[in-house]
Amino acid sequence: MITENSSHYDHLEQMSVHELLTNINNEDKTVPLAVEKAIPQMEALVTEIVKRMKEGGRLFYIGAGTSGRLGVVDASECPPTYGVSPDLVVGIIAGGDRAIRSAVENAEDDSEQAWKDLQVYHIDPLDTLIGIAASGRTPYVIGGLQKAREAGILTGCIVCNPGSAVAQAAEFPVEVVVGPEFVTGSTRMKSGTAQKLVLNMISTSVMIQLGRVKGNKMVDMQLTNHKLKIRATNMVMSETGVSQQRAEELLAKFGNVRSAILNVNYNPEE
C-alpha cells in the first residue's frame, strides 16, 4: 500500500527545525495536485448526493481515527455555516464520540458496528453514506458501506490508496493518491490533508447546490458569536444599502442574513 511506503526522507531526527518544516511543506505542496486528479470522481458523487438531498435525503460520514474525526468536523461545521439542521449532515466515528479525543482500542476492526451505528439514524435509500479511510482497508468502513449498498443507499468513499477494499465497496469512490507520508505511515499528514480538502469540496458544493449560498455569501449562517454578527451586519448593509443600525435591527428580528434582506422593507409600526 502506497500510504505505508517508506518516506522520501530519512534520518528525520538529524534534521534541523528549518529542514523539518521545509521538507514537510514540500510534501504538503503535492496534495492539491493529487486532489485535482480526483475532481471527476468527486463531481460524479456530488451530483448524485444533490439529487437525493433535494428530495429530503441526508449525508452521512463514517470513519475511524483521523478519518473519522475529519468527517465529524466537516459535519459539525455545516449547521453554523449554512443554517441547516444538525441531522442533515452526520459524522460517525468508530468507537463513538469519546474516540474524537482518545483512541478506542479495536474500534475500527469491527465490520458490523458501523451499520449498527447508522441504524440509530434510521438511514434509508434517500440518504448517502461516505466512508473515509486513508488506507482503504478499515473493516468498520468496509462493513458499513457494504451493508448500506445492500440496502439501496448511495455510497461513496475517500481513500488514499488505489484499488482498495473500501473503494470496491462504494459505488462512487474518490481516490486521492498522495504518496508516502513524511513520517512513514503517518496518514494524519498528507492523507489527512487530502481528506480534509475533499470533504470541504464535497460539502461546500452540495450546500451551494442546495441554495445555501447567495452570490458568495453564507446568508443562512447562524449568528452564534460577535464576529459572525458583525459579518452578517456588513452583508445586510452591502446587499441593501441600509444603515448599520437598521441592519442590526433586521437581523435581531429575522435571525439570519437571507431573511433580513428579504424583509428589508419591514416596518413594525405598519
Contact 69, 92 (CB under 8 A): no
Give residue-wise pLDDT tens across range 85-119: 999 999 999 999 999 998 887 889 999 999 999 99
CA distances from 92 to 141, 194, 207, 251 (A): 10, 19, 20, 33
Give residue-wise pLDDT tens across range 20-42: 999 999 999 999 999 999 999 99
DSSP three-state, residue 159: strand
* Length of the chain (residues): 270
Residue 185 CB: number of other CB atoms within 10 A?
16
Give residue-wise pLDDT tens across range 173-189: 999 999 999 999 999 99
Q: What is the pLDDT of residue 42?
A: 98
Query: Poorest-confidence range of 44-53, 119-128, 200-209, 218-227?
Result: 218-227
Q: What mean pLDDT value characterizes the chain? A: 95
Annotated catalytic residue, options 19, 36, 55, 108 = 108
Look at residue 270 and tell me whether its pLDDT is greater than 70.
no
Active site residue 27: no
Mean pLDDT computed over 54-58: 97
Annotated catalytic residue, options 43, 48, 77, 171 = 77
> Which of 27, 50, 43 has its CA nearest to residue 174?
43
What residue spans of the chain are helical by DSSP H? 17-28, 31-37, 39-53, 65-82, 113-119, 139-150, 165-169, 190-209, 226-240, 244-254, 257-262
State residue 129 phi and psi, 5-degree precision: -120, 125
Q: From CA 56, how far away is CA 118, in angstroms rounded?
A: 17
> Which of 250, 190, 199, 256 has its CA nearest to residue 78?
199
Mean pLDDT computed over 124-142: 97
Q: What is the pLDDT of residue 264?
A: 87
Active site residue 181: no
Exposure string (b/e) for 143-163, b if CB count within 10 Å is 16 or more? bbbbbbeeeebbbbbbbbbee
Q: What is the pLDDT of residue 265?
A: 84
pTM attached to this predicted model: 0.93
Q: From CA 80, how far away is CA 222, in angstroms rounded?
A: 5
Mean pLDDT computed over 8-24: 98
Give residue-wise pLDDT tens across range 208-265: 999 999 999 999 999 989 999 999 999 999 999 999 999 999 999 999 999 999 998 8
In terms of Cβ atoms closer than 10 Å to its own Cβ (0-12, 13-18, 19+), residue 205 is middle
**Residue, of 216 and 266, whose pLDDT is higher:** 216
Q: What is the pLDDT of residue 269?
A: 64
Q: From CA 228, how far away is CA 234, in angstroms rounded?
A: 10
